[in-house]
Structure 1
Amino acid sequence: NGAGNAEAIKTRVNQIKAQIETTTSDYDKEKLQERLAKLAGGVAVLYVGAASEVEMKEKKDRVDDALHATRAAVEEGIVAGGGVALVRAKKSLEKTATVNIDESTGVQIINKAIEAPLRIIIENAGGEGSVVLNKVLEGKKDFGYDAKNEVYVDMLEAGIIDPKKVTRVALENAASVAGMILTTECALIDIKEDTAGAGMPPMGGGGGMPGMM
């Protein structure tokens, strides 16, 4: 009838969780997560429909992003969205001790960079990034700005959240790329040639043929 020994199922669930933690293969991890869902919870099938193929692909991508974001949230929890969590990290940076001017400059760069997500969100919504940023900095904890409705709210209560893992990994990757650029002495790039009018023959001056006097 589908029933099983509860203790045996619990043991197997713990085994699968341990395998998920240790595996380095994304494919294996995905299959283990599916197996875990079937044993420990439920399985849902989402049907995505749209009026056109382009719209359907766009909606499918949104669902896929939401699925991965949910998995990330389950792994490490959630933080206030809209760039608020990063802005709140500025207080921790203020307490960071530095031993030389290079470290101090690095802290200042990060301090400025973590403001960018909130600023960009506000500017994309047609607002003034600096004004909203200062207002958010005056607030505490999860106080932030709902760019869609143009109001200041408690981000968690309003449901404006980000997976902690996504925010953390984004910051770590940005720092990694920035560090690589800073230590790079040169870069090789392809210069795109201007091909406009390449097929047109040169126009001669006056009424004579080119090269004729």
Structure 2
Amino acid sequence: VVKGMMFDRGYLSPYFVTNSEKMVAELENPFILLFEKKLSNLQPMLPILEAVVQSQRPLLIIAEDVEGEALATLVVNRLRGGLKVAAVKAPGFGDRRKAMMEGIAILTKGELITEDLGMKLENVSIKSLGTAKRVTISKENTVIVDGNGDKKNIED
């Protein structure tokens, strides 16, 4: 049995597509960053982006939104080939969104970065990121396959 989840949010830019025939972004063995707020500036994320580039693994960013300069910078880095990255909006709204993000955190064994709890993007390390065997993102949906979370926690 493959454990995974699907939610109805697609890529934030078609430039994240890796398979132009199927028009999907396919990330193999990606790190997954879960951020509860909007990202409009990547400056605070530079340390974690550097660490991900060093690891040579792809990165999926799931946030309330990724906009403006932050989105443009991710697209440019994706196109230049330095960073295999894709970004999607967090699923759901309000309290349901937080619950869904916590569910993704459990599935992928990552941490939901919440500033209310005093967590800052500048201080996020690779250990805080979730992982999965594969993520496939279409224009409408995101599918996370085989998250590396603890089986017992996922079933609860």
Scaled to the shorter chain, the TM-score interval is under 0.3
For the pair shown, the structure with the greater C-alpha radius of gyration is 1
Normalized per residue, the structure richer in helix is 1
Normalized per residue, the structure richer in strand is 2
TM-score (normalised: structure 2): 0.26
Choose between structure 1 and 2 for higher RCO, CA contacts under 8 A separated by at least 6 residues.
Answer: 2
TM-score (normalised: structure 1): 0.21
